[in-house]
Amino acid sequence: MNFITFLLSAPIVKNMATVTTAGTDATTSATAAAVRHTGLALVLDKVEYSIMVPMVYFALIFCLAAIILHVISILRAPAQPYSLRIFPASKRPKLAALADTFTMPQVRKHKPMLWVFLMIFHISFLLLILGHLDILPNISLIPEASRDMLGRGLVGVGVTLPLFYFLFRRFRSPIREITVPADYLLLILILFLCLFGDMMSWGNSWTASGFVMTKQDFSQYFNGLAQFTFADPRLVLPGSHYHFVVIHVLLANIFFIVLPFSKVIHAFLALPINLLRRK
C-alpha cells in the first residue's frame, strides 16, 4: 500500500501482540490479531505511521541535501586572507591532519578526562552506525538468528555514558559561561535518542522477555524502508512497545534534520579543517 493511500484509508488494521508468560520468548509467541481503530487511536496510528515511514525518508534526504549544500558553500567561499597553518610544520602534513582529527592530541594534553570520554563516544558511535546497518537484512555482521544488536547493548552504554558527562560538564564554570541553550538542547536530544534506543537493545539483550521486538522484527521494518514498500511497520513490530520505537525514530528524525545546522556538522568538517591547518 503506498503511504498516501495508507494515510487516507480508514479504519486501519493494526497488529496486537498477545504475550505469553515470563520466561518464554515474547516475540515468537506474539500473535497478530486484527483490530479496527477509530477516533483518537486512528489519529495516533496515522501520526505514528508518518513518523516511522515518510518522515524517515524526508529527514534523511533533507540531512544529505543540507550537508552537500553546506560543503559546496564552504568550497565556493573566498579563501581566508590569513593562514590557518600551525607550527612546528609537520613533515607529513596529511598524516598529521589524520592524527589531529582522530586522536585529538590537544584535548588529550589539556583535558585528559574529556579526551577519554570523547574517544569512548566516537568509537562507540562508529559501532552504533554499524549496528544499525547490521539490522538491514542483507548485512550480517553478527548472525542473522541473534536477537541482539551488535555489541549486545554495550555499544549503547558506550555512547550514553559519555553523553551524560558531556551534558553535566556544561553545568560547571567556566564551560557554563560559554554554553548557549542550543548546546544543552542538542545534547539532551541525542541523550534521549540514545536512551530510547538503549531501552530496546538492553531489553532484548539482558532480559528473557524484556522487549517484545527483536533484531529480526526490526530487520523486517528496515527492509520495508530500504525497498520503499511504504508498508505499515505495525504489521511487523508487535506489541505496545511500538510506541517506544516510534519515539526513538522521531528523535532520530529530528536529529537528522538539525544535524546540518548544529555542531554535529564537525563530523564532516574536522578532517578538511585539519588538512588546511597542516597544509
Regarding 131 and contact with ligand HEM (CB under 6 A), the answer is yes
Min separation Cβ 136 and ligand HEM, Å: 11
252 counts as binding ligand HEM under rule CB under 6 A: yes
At 81, give phi and psi (nearest 5°). Answer: -75, -5
Q: Is the N-terminal amide bond of 233 cis, ω within 30° of 0?
A: no
Residue 93's contacts (CB-CB under 8 Å, 6 or more residues apart) are 275, 278, 279
Please report how close the Cβ of residue 247 comes to ligand HEM at its closest, in angstroms: 11
**Residue 48 binding ligand HEM, by CB under 6 A:** no
Residue closer to ligand HEM, measured from CB, 230 or 255: 255
Binder among 6, 49, 121, 218 for ligand HEM (CB under 6 A)? 218
Residues 195-214 that bind ligand HEM (CB under 6 A): 197-198, 200-201, 204
Say whether residue 241 binds ligand HEM (CB under 6 A): no
Of 66 and 275, CB closest to ligand HEM: 66
Grid coordinates 486501519 are at which residue?
12
Q: Least Å distance between CB 149 and ligand HEM? A: 4
**C-alpha–C-alpha distance, residues 28 and 122, integer Å:** 35
Asked if 246 touches ligand HEM (CB under 6 A), the answer is no
Element (H, E) at 14: strand 13-14
One DSSP character per residue, 52-92 reads HTHHHHHHHHHHHHHHHHHHHHHHHSPPPSS----SSPPSS
Should residue 149 be labelled a site residue for ligand HEM when binding is judged by CB under 6 A?
A: yes
Q: Are 50 and 38 in contact (CB under 8 A)?
A: no
Centre a 10 Å sphere on the Cβ of residue 268 and count the other Cβ atoms it contains: 15
190 counts as binding ligand HEM under rule CB under 6 A:
yes
Positions touching ligand HEM (CB under 6 A) are 56, 128, 131-132, 149, 151, 153, 155-156, 159, 190, 193-194, 197-198, 200-201, 204, 215, 218, 248-249, 252, 255
